[in-house]
Amino acid sequence: MALFSGEGWLFLLRWFHFLAGITWIGMLYYFNFVQTPFFATADSPVRTGMIAGSLVGRALWWFRWGAMLTFITGWLYILHRIGQLGLLGFFQTSYGWAIFIGGIIGSLMWFNVWFIIWPAQKVVIASATQVAKGGQANPAAAPRGQRSGFASRTNTLLSIPMLFFMGAASHFAFFTPGERGAKITMLIVFAIVLALVEANALVGTTGPGKKMLGTVSGTLWGGFVLAAILVILLKLIFP
């Protein structure tokens, strides 16, 4: 196989997609499994020093650009496959549907990184830097940081079904796409499920959904439950 043939191009896309994805999800898990629990028990000067001292800023750089490269290479890969199989042919296969579902979940996670988490963290970093220089904290920093935390925990939750469907595309053909009406039904149901998950991240600060996202274990369990719900829905709609 020539490296710059059609298959070679596809291999390079997958390789860079894996490298970027590992960087992105690795940083996501670092923030949620290590940094956030540490910050919850650390003294305020320690938190401020880590934020203002650019440790958090550097981690966020790798985090957001890992997300961007994952997003770009992932959709280039999907579009390449659609070009090979044709749009109708792509969605006639379990592979096409599984990788599409995984790609949409990943795209929502990318959206959260660039349009929810990163803008909020810029406010938090600027506030911490101001405090480190002897100034006053920005009163908007705390609520923006909380919203960023909910979005980050939501991305952790979403990563579980996302990785399941990405892996299932090539290794676990557990359903057979049905007629056009069933496909439309699945798209609608899938959109509703994702909208509910995203609304829980963006709207309000209390409730059962927020309580679930309040702990690492609750977030992980929520991710596995969401994956199971999507699998069951697929099997019901595409028996």
pLDDT tens-digit map of 71-117: 999 999 999 889 888 988 888 888 889 999 999 999 999 999 999 99
Which residues are CB-neighbours of 125 under 8 A, at least 6 positions away? 51, 52, 56, 57
pLDDT at 47: 80
Q: Considering only 5-9, 58-62, 218-222, which range has the smallest mean pLDDT?
A: 5-9
Residue 201 scores a pLDDT above 80 = yes
Q: How confident is residue 182, by pLDDT bands cut at 50, 70 and 90?
A: confident
- Prediction pTM value: 0.93
Per-residue pLDDT, 157: 98
Asked whether residue 209 carries a pLDDT value surpassing 70, the answer given is yes
pLDDT of residue 85: 86
**What percentage of the chain exceeds 70 in pLDDT?**
97
Q: How many CB atoms lie within 10 A of CB 36?
A: 14
In the prediction, which pLDDT does 22 show?
97
Q: How far apart are the first and last CA of the chain?
A: 38
Of 215, 113, 102, nearest in space to 161 by CA:
102
What is the residue-averaged pLDDT of the chain? 90
Question: Is the alpha carbon torsion for 183, 188, 193, 194 positive or negative?
Answer: positive
pLDDT of 149 > 70? The answer is: yes
